Amino acid sequence: MLVYHLPGTFETREEHLDLLWEAGATGLEERAGLIRAYFDEQADLPADIRDGEWRDEADQDWQAEFKANLRPVPAGRVTIVPPWLRAEVPSTQVPLIIEPGMAFGTGHHATTRMAVEALSALDLDGQTVLDVGTGSGVLAIAAALLGARYALGVDIDPVTIPIAAENAGQNGVPEGRAAFMVGTLGDDLPGDVVPDGVFDVLVANLYAELHDLLVGAYLGHLRPCGPLILTGILVSKLPLVQDALEREGFTDVQVRTDGDWALVTARN
């Protein structure tokens, strides 16, 4: 397996993580002061991230090791599992099966886990949910499994859309209950399509600077008093998001943290 070793951590190189995904990384991991970016083939990297080193770790079969170390992730009423651990989910929990692969969102990142917990704390029966930056579809699928009438996942990365749809199918979510499309919010961002309509709940696992840009658009897509759930926020960047929410008139702003990561809920 081809791994690009980039010195630094997710926090110190936050602005470079998207560059790795855009260059074709299939997974990112942080270990011992290094960001390990998994690639299928060597990519031409932009200058900002050329200070790393390519390593062929084929003999070590990291993927098998990674899979062997995966555990079910309880998140509120839901437990996120890869397909082969489905039997380990207690009968009191809602199983959410995610095949670890090309798209972010296996549940093993604190932000995904906190977002599923936040969804799980709501009564989603009959609600509509917009998931911005859907990745593996995990949050939209969680919403559908928790009773949402309709969950729409949007992502600027077209690779994620069929993966999210396949994950929804694997969880037995009927097609009309969850849909996925290439898109984003906000006219000034790349991404062709902005979803129409107003949703009962909006969840977005992106990053602080993007939340700052998108808060106005969140307001336009959320029914009055609809809960907003934002994560992907480094604790050090929380003030940026809190200020943006205040600027747009959101109230009842609450923060949860897990290590370096924060999740913010608010109402409009």
Reference 205, options 79, 117, 267; nearest CA is 117
Q: What is the CA radius of gyration of the chain?
A: 18
> Quick one: DSSP state of residue 192?
S
Reference 150, options 141, 162, 163; nearest CA is 141
Q: In what order do the strands lie in the sheet with 94-97?
A: 73-75, 78-81, 94-97
Closest contact distance (angstroms) between CB of 8 and ligand SAM is 18
Q: Name the residue nearer to ligand SAM (CB basis): 27 or 133.
A: 133
> Quick one: DSSP state of residue 184?
-
Place of tokens 């798209």: 103
Is 206 one of the binding residues for ligand SAM (CB under 6 A)?
A: yes
Closest contact distance (angstroms) between CB of 89 and ligand SAM is 19
Q: Within 104-123, which residues bind ligand SAM (CB under 6 A)?
A: 104-105, 112, 115
Is 138 one of the binding residues for ligand SAM (CB under 6 A)?
A: yes
- Among positions 74, 157, 208, 250, the unique one binding ligand SAM when judged by CB under 6 A: 157
Is 155 one of the binding residues for ligand SAM (CB under 6 A)?
A: yes
Q: Which two tokens stand for residue 73?
A: 């992730």
The C-alpha angle 74, 84, 146, rounded to 5 degrees, equals: 40
Quickly list DSSP for 9-31.
Answer: -TTTTHHHHHHHHHTT-SEEEEE
From 44-52, 62-70, 85-93, 130-138, give the range in contact with ligand SAM by CB under 6 A.
Answer: 130-138
From 39-47, 128-136, 192-200, 250-258, give the range in contact with ligand SAM by CB under 6 A.
Answer: 128-136
Is 191 one of the binding residues for ligand SAM (CB under 6 A)?
A: yes
From 24-32, 154-162, 239-247, 252-260, give the range in contact with ligand SAM by CB under 6 A.
Answer: 154-162
Positions touching ligand SAM (CB under 6 A) are 103-105, 112, 115, 132-135, 138-139, 154-157, 160, 184, 189, 191, 205-206, 210, 232
